[in-house]
């Protein structure tokens, strides 16, 4: 029976991805900064492991606890929705530490074992905003676009070793905690000129129309891991699919 390790499972996409793989009889190593055992149904195929993807010691301990894995899903991430003028460099570094460097560090940590077995899949969850600019997301978008570039090169590097690297690009997902989690990073005074734009962006996140549901992302990740013929980039959600097709 195969094993998947998923980062960022305390809510949203990561939690649904973990459920999906459990439902399909995989062993699941669900990681989160503050482990909770009440989020997923009890199962002898489930392990909840503490992990902070910005901490090298935490990564080493989590990968050791996971043991051999067939797939790594780098889903952990944080967002920031703010005019660049009001984003501190400390916040910008924090976003890149989690979204970009955390993905790189986790991938680096699992590759030796995958290389030894000459098998495995790395799936990096980024965002459809990397394909089209959105105001007030400059730092977040840059952190995710960097992961796209990283994954594209990594896929070529690992293919001769029998290891796949793929991207899943979710669209707008009002049902997740993205906006809620981004608000604590909205520090500093916002120049008055940006206030209307900030209101428009938050309202736009709640507008009716095609959206991405957590299950869409789980299904896209499942395809990325289990379908040898899957493309390297997989949009997740009706809005993401429409944008990717342009």
For residue 185, is pLDDT > 50? no
Q: Identify the residue with better confidence: 210 or 166.
A: 166
| 15-27 pLDDT, tens digit each | 999 999 999 999 9
Mean per-residue pLDDT for 194-207? 77
| pTM: predicted TM-score of the whole model, two decimal places | 0.93
| 49-63 pLDDT, tens digit each | 999 999 999 999 999
Band of pLDDT at residue 180, cut at 50, 70 and 90: low
Quote the pLDDT of residue 212: 95
- Domains of the chain plus CATH, in order, are 3-244 (3.40.50.720)
Quote the pLDDT of residue 175: 60
Q: Catalytic residues, which ones?
A: 140
Q: Identify the residue with better confidence: 201 or 96.
A: 96
SS (H, E, C) the chain: CCEEEECCCCCHHHHHHHHHHHHCCCEEEEEECCCCCCCCCCCCCEEEEECCCCCHHHHHHHHHHHCCCCEEEECCCCCCCCCHHHCCHHHHHHHHHHHHHHHHHHHHHHHHHHHHHCCEEEEEECCHHHHCCCCCCHHHHHHHHHHHHHHHHHHHHHHHHCEEEEEEEECCCCCCCHHHHHHHHCCCCCCHHHHHHHHHHHHHCCCCCCCCCHHHHHHHHHHHHHCCCCCCEEEECHHHHHHHCC
* Mean of the per-residue pLDDT values of the chain: 92
For residue 187, is pLDDT > 70? no
């Amino acid at each position: 029976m195969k094993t998947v390790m998923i980062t960022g499972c305390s809510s949203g996409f990561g939690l649904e991805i973990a459920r999906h793989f459990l439902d399909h009889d995989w062993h699941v190593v669900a990681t989160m900064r503050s482990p909770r055992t009440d989020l997923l149904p009890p199962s002898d195929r489930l392990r909840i492991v503490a992990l902070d993807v910005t901490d090298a010691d935490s990564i080493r301990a989590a990968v050791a606890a996971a043991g051999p894995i067939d797939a790594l899903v780098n889903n952990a991430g944080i967002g920031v929705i703010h005019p660049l003028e009001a984003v501190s460099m400390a916040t910008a570094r924090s976003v890149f530490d989690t979204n970009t460097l955390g993905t790189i560090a986790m991938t680096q940590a699992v590759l030796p074992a995958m290389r030894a077995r000459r098998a495995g899949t790395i799936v990096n969850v980024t965002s459809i905003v990397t394909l089209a600019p959105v105001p007030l997301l400059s730092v977040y978008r840059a952190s995710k676009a960097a992961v796209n570039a990283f994954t594209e090169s990594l896929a070529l590097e690992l293919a001769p070793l029998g290891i796949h690297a793929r991207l899943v690009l979710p669209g707008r997902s009002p049902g997740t905690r993205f906006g809620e989690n981004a608000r604590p990073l909205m520090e500093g005074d916002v120049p008055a000129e940006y206030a209307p734009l900030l209101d428009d962006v938050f309202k736009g996140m709640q507008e009716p129309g095609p959206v991405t549901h957590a299950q869409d992302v789980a299904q896209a990740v499942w395809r990325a891991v289990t379908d040898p013929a899957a493309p390297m980039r997989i949009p997740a959600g009706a809005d993401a699919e429409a944008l990717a097709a342009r």
